[in-house]
Structure 1
Amino acid sequence: MHGLQRMIASAVALLAALAHPGAHAADAAPAATPATTPAALPPVQDFFSNPQFSTVQLSPSGRYLAAKLTSPNGRERLAVVDLSNNSALSVASFHDTDVGQFAWVNDERLLLDTVDMQVGVGDARYGPGLYAVNRDGSQFRQLASRRGDAHAVQSQRLLPWHTYMLGQRGTQDSDQVYVLSRKITGPGQMEYADLLQLNTKTGYSTTLKRPGDTHDWLLDSKGEPRLATVVENGRSSVHYRDPATGAWRELGSFGQFTGGKGSFRPLAFAPDGTLYVVTSAYRDKSAVHSYDLATGKINPQPLVELEHYDFSGRLIMSQDKLLGVRYLADAQGTRWLDPAMQAIQQEVDKLLPNTLNLLTPPSRPETPNLLVESYSDVQPRVFMLYNSANRQLSKIGASRPQIRPGQMGKQDLVTYAARDGLQIPAWLTLPHGKDKNLPMVVLVHGGPFVRGGQWGWRPDVQFLASRGYAVLEPEYRGSTGFGEAHFKAGWKQWGLKMQDDIADGTRWAIAQGIADGKRICIAGASYGGYATLMGLVNNPELYQCGVEWAGVTDIKLMYTGHWSFQSDLPDAWKQYGMPHLIGDPEKDAEQLKATSPLEQAARIRQPLLLAYGGSDMRMPLYHGKKFRDAVQKTNRQVEWVEYEEEGHGWVLQKNRYDFWTRVEGFLNKHIGSSQGEK
């Protein structure tokens, strides 16, 4: 049982010395600055360092395991383990970047790209590139350039830098894969994405004829292109490619951002050729249905529906059978359609009774090996291997082995009524061993038209809980995942009913005795930053302080931008999405002014921590600077920090450490435990 664990430990130690020919070990990363926290508390680095172990995949046969491992120098490399003899080999590493995504091409070969985890967005100079290598480290080949260098591309027969992995499983029985080549016209602006069939050994590629300005492609279960989603003039249309003739025909067309009657999202093709789609055509919550390609109709009887949630997930398939469905309810789960897999799930759950356990079988199994990802609200992900023949479970590695579950806070999904009666779900995390009269952080998710959270361990939430704070995360109206009515109730409600939902959740926590009404701070990033500022404006009686990072400070600025910075908000979103979901800059001008934190800055008198990335193209720096200058005219309790090289969030460990250390000090000063003793 422990042989694989010892082998992986040895592989990690060897990675610093094992490098692919042509790659060199990077200089050692500088040591992190020690956190200035009490000795009894887990340090900030435990929460916000890069995972020590991430992304594990079984080969199609299940004979080999590929994993990204962090080397002593901080760079992530790709290693392959032969599970028949527990031998490990580093097969891909780079002196100036990290291995990014990877996928098995077949049982002998892998495809990978890169991502530099040691530079911020503002300092990034290269694309992801594209590479292939055999599982024994041989036949390493670069397939796409990392630079916009036309001469290098031409002379070395490389695909251009804007070539990307597709993220879907191919045939896995040849050296061929499909990749994307995107026509990018500016930051956040993609005109279309070509689909290329690429030979990973020769580098030769051919381009598939597309039916229009295609943004998304879907392969069938045999790994062949079968569907394309075309986006033109605010409409999304789904096109089907006939396997016999190669001709395209349209299946349906809907609003790109607003959907419409009968709208659906293609999910996957099963091995028997059935197309499954996700739609809310028959109920408020979207579900998985089969689609009849001959009649163009959706089967009213769902394959999978969740009582309280929209479907989000994927089909789990072998080469010739639909095995089950992975879905997200309050937490991730699996509905196995295959009795054998259901029996294995029960075996694993008995061995790991205190965690949620996600099983992934190989696609072309020749062994009894299955991958297991195990986690809970207090335990970050741990990767394991389960042998269904001898029923042995072996630990491969842990994403954050330094985290001690006994120090973490328990998380629950709660529901409260908004003032108009709408039921609002929310995630509540309480400090270990405490549940009453607590200082609380209301943490508002970004988006806003996304789902905010799910049951499981999160670094920001658990860091706050470890410092003694209750954390409330409302899934306010406009959040997705809780039905179409909940989503549409948030249209054009920025700063209005969406904001009321957050305030009503805060009052609920006070009424329940969970939160001390005199020690509450509101916090969030992006839209969550906007809601933080509007919370301080609308409800000064509720919030004693605010922490806002990378946030929207004026809706009109999202439309108009600023001469000094370029935004990556797509033009189509501004033209076809924002006027309907947020507000029209002309028709709704008065509402947008009334719900602008910039316009209302003089009303904010509470202490405020603001943080922005100097290279943020989603919410460029002018959002933060204009608001900072406005609010400081009437508020002397404003702290400002700028991370020059960062974008829309903090990529670099040193900046995560710095920011959350600042947050800890700010909260302790204004609502922390010392405040409760006064």
Structure 2
Amino acid sequence: MSPDGKSLAVIQPTAGRGAVLSVVAMDGSTGLKPILRSSGNPERLQYCRWSTNTRLVCGLYVIDQIGTSFYGFTRLFSLNSDGSDQKLLSARANQYSLGIALGGGGVIDWLGEKGDGSALMQRYVLPEMTTGHLTAQTSEGLAVERVDTRTLERTMVEQPRGGVAGYITDGRGVVRIMARRPTTTLGQSKDRYDFLYRRKGSREWLPLTTVTVSGGRAKGFEPEAVDPDLDVVYGLDSSGGRIGVYSIALDGSMTKKLVFERPDADVDQLVQVGRQSRVVGASWVTDKRETAMFDPPLKSFATSLSKALPGAPLASFVDASADEQKLVMFAGADTDPGRFYLFDRASKKLAEILPIRPQLASVKLASVKPISFPAADGTMVPGYLTLPPGSDGKGLPAIVLPHGGPWARDEWNFDWLPQFFANRGYAVLQPNYRGSTGYGDSWFQQNGFRSWKTAVGDIDDGGRWLVKQGIADPAKMAIVGWSYGGYAALQSGAVDPTLFKAIVAVAPVTDFEMLREEWKGDSSPASLDQTFGTRVTAEEGSPARHADRFAAPVLLFHGDRDQNVSIRESQLMASRLRGAGKPVQFVEYKGLDHQLDDDAARTDLLDKTDVFLRTTMKM
């Protein structure tokens, strides 16, 4: 939303992997007016924000090849709201630059209500050759600049510093927090972040807190947002194994206070609103996502909203005008992909802007039910069950669909993948196995890699529960997963070869040591040990090393430009299965990364998966 609340910028997907940026007047005087198109090949339009009432800043993501390797680049550019005067906002390299900046920088402060077209950007500064070049840049590291998004005039606010991972401002143009990440002598990142802060009016950096990241779970107070009026920084921290919201005073006293926590779940998000990203609440998930508002007027508004939209209980802030009198909201549910709304606080009127997936308006979607099932050791494992619309829930073809991550979790909402399978007649179980986030330290275990036996055991027990409950036909039960979920699907085929009759893995991890090798350039050996464990763990837990155990046919999908999990992992798995005489199909998508974010590719994936499952399980 523009600072004055009169215009809205909307990004919508187009055919293939493209997108179109449109602007619409909020008074209804004009409809969606396209001002920019991106093909998605290779540049992908990711987001846009307003720097003034008539100018936008947008981010692009590009995957390009350098030598034999693929790299992801980000770049920022600005343009007028009619699409004119496009300018590259990311700093340009030159012939003297010693290296390539993959990141094009990011806006960390829109300078409150000023709306003069300037913003604070952090970016990585590269050193330059000094030979024959008297004005060469010799410093290297993350810097902060004040950039005019119209003229590109730049002023350095924070000089480049090596080892700095990020900055946080107070939302009014003052940098208050700095994060450092120590590195080894080989330049690999260690498993901790050191945060420093400044008192008001001071340029001196003082120690604030240290956060260690062990196997994917952070320990310690992690700053996220500064409140300049209260002079505190808000962040997430754990106590008693649960994550809550805390504040630390930035006046030098370092007074730490608990702001909000839940006894039954990790608080995983701060709720922020407006151009200053003002903290107004916190969010967490039990069976469904819930929100507690700290701001009294917005708390009252949230209560009224839930009454006004009883069929769409999942509501969140998207954006706001500079004075926060106009709010853009999103609301959805399990059977509603969601839609955007405009709320005018002055008139107290709520109006729909547009739906997310209008093509599904006439499609009957499947309801999602929170459930729990017993693992082999008696532990109750939470998850979600989606049954085909109109089904009696008995004797169905079924799919166990473990989530990726593994440091993630499934939530109650609209999810296109289980909805597709339910539409095709499958019961779908999404288990939040041990190793998932959101349930505290004890549930996280040592993460889904080191604790793979527990995680995969829970997932397999979910399949056994479906059979025991009479929901699944045991002869027609499959497992499907993406990323770590793909790993779990494959590893289940090695652990209990006859449980699932078909296995589908999208962009899967197949060998721990191979993934470790992919990550070793950025992470220290100690950090990698915390994530993947020992070589014994890799030997036992890598499905590519046990292809001879598989009984169920396997279908693999992977994009050749995957930056998360190399396509070599699927190539290895396919090769090992073929070598062991096991049935396997491998589909490679050219020019796509981990998300396969292309409508043709995803349609192809769904069609091939459906045919594979029906053929394999003789449906």
Q: Same fold (TM over 0.5)?
A: yes
Q: Structure 1: which amino acid aligns with 2:148?
A: N
* Structure 2 unmatched ranges of 5 or more: 128-139, 184-189
Q: Matched residue pairs, number? A: 587
- Report the CA distance between 1:168 and its aligned residue: 5.5
* Structure 1 unmatched ranges of 5 or more: 1-57, 154-158, 186-190, 561-566
Tell me which residue corresponds to 2:525.
575
Tell me which residue corresponds to 1:304.
260
Tell me which residue corresponds to 2:486.
529
Q: Structure 1: which amino acid aligns with 2:337?
A: P
Greater relative CO (CA pairs within 8 A, separation 6+): 1
Tell me which residue corresponds to 1:14.
none
Which residue among 197, 220, 228 is the counterpart of 1:240?
197
- Residue 91 of structure 2 corresponds to residue 150 of structure 1: no
- Report the CA distance between 1:200 and its aligned residue: 1.3
The answer to which of 106-115 and 244-253 deviates more is 106-115
Change (3 A) 1:326 1:61: farther
Tell me which residue corresponds to 1:279.
237
- Residue 483 of structure 2 corresponds to residue 517 of structure 1: no
What is the rounded CA distance, in whole Å, between the counterparts of 1:212 and 1:151 in structure 2? 22
TM-score by length of 1: 0.78
- Report the CA distance between 1:95 and its aligned residue: 6.5
Change (3 A) 1:198 1:307: same
Tell me which residue corresponds to 2:573.
627
Tell me which residue corresponds to 2:112.
171
What is the rounded CA distance, in whole Å, between the counterparts of 2:586 and 2:277 in structure 1? 56
- Report the CA distance between 1:384 and its aligned residue: 1.8
What is the rounded CA distance, in whole Å, between the counterparts of 2:217 and 2:612 in structure 1? 46
Tell me which residue corresponds to 2:168.
218
The answer to which of 551-560 and 230-239 deviates more is 551-560
Change (3 A) 1:117 1:552: closer
The answer to which of 600-609 and 622-631 deviates more is 622-631
Q: Structure 1: which amino acid aligns with 2:117?
A: D
Q: What secondary structure is seen at the aligned counterpart in 2 of 1:144?
A: coil
- Report the CA distance between 1:88 and its aligned residue: 5.2
Q: Structure 2: which amino acid aligns with 1:344?
A: F
Change (3 A) 1:460 1:193: farther
Change (3 A) 1:345 1:556: closer
Q: Would the aligned equivalents of 1:438 and 1:470 in 2 still touch at CA under 8 Å?
A: yes
Q: What secondary structure is seen at the aligned counterpart in 2 of 1:370?
A: strand
- Residue 21 of structure 2 corresponds to residue 78 of structure 1: yes
- Residue 123 of structure 2 corresponds to residue 181 of structure 1: yes
- Residue 420 of structure 2 corresponds to residue 478 of structure 1: no
- Residue 587 of structure 2 corresponds to residue 604 of structure 1: no
- Report the CA distance between 1:226 and its aligned residue: 1.2
* 1:599-655 Cα deviation digits (max 9, x unpaired): 211110211111222233432232222221221233442112112322223122221
What is the rounded CA distance, in whole Å, between the counterparts of 1:94 and 1:407 in structure 2? 32
- Report the CA distance between 1:498 and its aligned residue: 1.6
Which residue among 587, 590, 607 is the counterpart of 1:644?
590
What is the rounded CA distance, in whole Å, between the counterparts of 1:323 and 1:103 in structure 2? 19
TM-score by length of 2: 0.85
Give me the CA root mean square deviation. 3.4
Change (3 A) 1:660 1:179: same
Percent of aligned pairs with the same residue? 25
- Report the CA distance between 1:322 and its aligned residue: 5.8
Q: Would the aligned equivalents of 1:117 and 1:651 in 2 still touch at CA under 8 Å?
A: no
What is the rounded CA distance, in whole Å, between the counterparts of 2:144 and 2:602 in structure 1? 37
Q: Would the aligned equivalents of 2:101 and 2:126 in 1 still touch at CA under 8 Å?
A: no
What is the rounded CA distance, in whole Å, between the counterparts of 1:115 and 1:262 in structure 2? 31
Tell me which residue corresponds to 1:201.
150
- Report the CA distance between 1:197 and its aligned residue: 2.2
- Report the CA distance between 1:331 and its aligned residue: 3.6
Q: What secondary structure is seen at the aligned counterpart in 1 of 2:536?
A: helix
* 1:212-263 Cα deviation digits (max 9, x unpaired): 5111221213242211111113121011133322121221223233599971
Q: Would the aligned equivalents of 2:141 and 2:161 in 1 still touch at CA under 8 Å?
A: no
What is the rounded CA distance, in whole Å, between the counterparts of 2:358 and 2:548 in structure 1? 46
Q: Structure 2: which amino acid aligns with 1:182?
A: Y
Which residue among 505, 511, 521 is the counterpart of 1:554?
511
Tell me which residue corresponds to 2:457.
500
Change (3 A) 1:415 1:211: farther
What is the rounded CA distance, in whole Å, between the counterparts of 2:527 and 2:310 in structure 1? 45
- Report the CA distance between 1:483 and its aligned residue: 0.6
The answer to which of 347-356 and 319-328 deviates more is 319-328
Change (3 A) 1:81 1:440: same
Q: Would the aligned equivalents of 2:270 and 2:279 in 1 still touch at CA under 8 Å?
A: no
Change (3 A) 1:151 1:323: closer
Q: What secondary structure is seen at the aligned counterpart in 2 of 1:275?
A: strand
Q: Would the aligned equivalents of 2:326 and 2:344 in 1 still touch at CA under 8 Å?
A: yes
- Report the CA distance between 1:113 and its aligned residue: 2.3
Q: Structure 2: which amino acid aligns with 1:230?
A: R
Q: Would the aligned equivalents of 1:323 and 1:341 in 2 still touch at CA under 8 Å?
A: no
What is the rounded CA distance, in whole Å, between the counterparts of 1:226 and 1:149 in structure 2? 28
